[in-house]
Amino acid sequence: MKLKTLTLALLATTIPTTGVFAAALDRSGQSISAFLQPDNYFEAGISILDPTVEGQEAGTSPTRRDISDMGDDYYFPSAAVKLQVTDKFSFGLLYDQPFGADAAYKGNNAFVSNPGVDTILPKTQLDALAAAGVAKVTAYMQSDAAKQAIGGLMQQGLSQQAATQAVLAKASEPLVALSKGLADANANLGSGSTAVEVDTQNLSMIFGFQPTKNFNLYGGGVYQTIKGNVSLRGTAYSLYNGYDAKIKETGGVGWLAGAAFQLPEIALKASVTYRSEIDHDVDAVENLTVEKALDANPAVLGGLGVTPAQIAAMKSTGETKITTPQSVNVDFQTGIMANTVAFANLRWVNWKDFSIQPYKFGKVSEAIGGLVGRPNGFNLVEYSDDQYSVTAGVGRKVNDHWAGNVSVGWDSGAGNPVSTLGPTEGYWNVGLGVQYSPTPATFISGGVKYFWLGDAKAQTGAQAGGSDYVAEFKDNNALAYGLKLGYRF
């Protein structure tokens, strides 16, 4: 069962699409396998994902229209260089794009604006506001205060009917102002469709110490950038129908640490790697199309129970903090027969503690949160569970030029219901990889994976943490491709 070190290294690089579609915003899987290759090593690769994510309005949505494919194709590159500086010290630079999102709704549904039809609040709430206003006016007109006001006007020479109409008009002014303001707000909701794009980049600088040929202790720093755009449109988002946020690219610093053990005689290799969370203080440019209409019609927010202090807070500016999650990767492989290895990867990502609340978005949510039972506000995106994923398979070297593998994978997802900006809940997948080595020092590998995406109920930020949802996505899938080039020197 003995495998040469070079053979083992080749088999370990035959599947370049690991982690290409996972829970929440997880994208690359953050592998450090390149750093654990023997001697000096370089690789560059690219992965491409083609998802199909379709659904239907459901839950609190008053209609049940179909939602066509909202998952956009995307690709992301990776690269790594590892240098064995001495027998005991190694150094590596790894580049990947660990987290991201790329989606856009289309068609006729609750996530696409319908100007002239969409309203700032659901019709049931608008009807309730109108009914409450009418009831308040009716109660006042039956009160002693109203009777005294009518009597005072009659003493000034008005008829009882004219005096009653004048008092009624005065009492109805807040209701009229609210009605006009709501009409203006409805006319200034957004146009277009809901879309999201998030991109991150990681550059990991790793230093390794090998006290013996069997052990490798490593750690280093990570520089990460993040940027993105999000647009909320359609009746699903109520007041936020017309919200845009542009997250300017910003950087943050974190760290990683780990240990590896190997027994080349039996092709055994095991490693565990921890990556820290990374904080970003982001300058997000936010816009809410309905804001000017609300400013011009203070009766709207007043009628919704928003206080002057909350209105002032909505107009303030500040930084947005985004913290990308900590994670742990465990990798294992061992020889099971001549030229054949079994391998497995386990990954945990702390999505449960992750959330995004752009500054203005948060202040508006605090102002209107009482309308949806969230008096302390709510997040644009949050997740209820941590992510766990497992990939396992078998790789085999056919001859000096060809090797291949098969694998199966499972991902837990990050909770259900999920965000409308990424409405899938985990997956199962199967993968096939093949590698060609024209020389002992070079190789080219390719892989393909098919994903059965988990069914999910999708909820807006205002619904997160509860059981309400606005859409349901079922029977979806994705196809991933990958290509990698490698060189040993």
Identify the CATH assignment for 5-110+191-488 out of 2.40.160.60, 3.40.1160.10, 3.40.50.2300, 3.40.50.970. 2.40.160.60
Give the mean pLDDT of 417-444.
94
Q: State the pLDDT at residue 349.
A: 97
Residue 246 clears pLDDT 50, i.e. is over it: yes
Give the mean pLDDT of 333-358.
94
Q: State the pLDDT at residue 308.
A: 87
Band (304; pLDDT cuts 50, 70, 90)? confident
Give the mean pLDDT of 222-242.
96
Residue 1 clears pLDDT 90, i.e. is over it: no
Long-range own/partner contacts, residues 114-119 (CB < 8 A, 24 or more apart)? 114/234, 114/235, 115/189, 115/191, 116/187, 118/186, 118/189, 118/234, 118/235, 118/241, 119/182, 119/186, 119/189, 119/235
Band (20; pLDDT cuts 50, 70, 90)? low
Q: State the pLDDT at residue 371.
A: 78
Residue 13 clears pLDDT 60, i.e. is over it: no
Domain positions in the chain are 5-110+191-488, 121-188
Q: Looking at the whole model, is its pTM more than 0.85?
A: yes
Band (143; pLDDT cuts 50, 70, 90)? very high
Q: At what angle do helices 160-187 and 144-155 cross, to 10 degrees?
A: 120
Q: State the pLDDT at residue 17.
A: 53
* Assigned token pair, 341: 């290895």
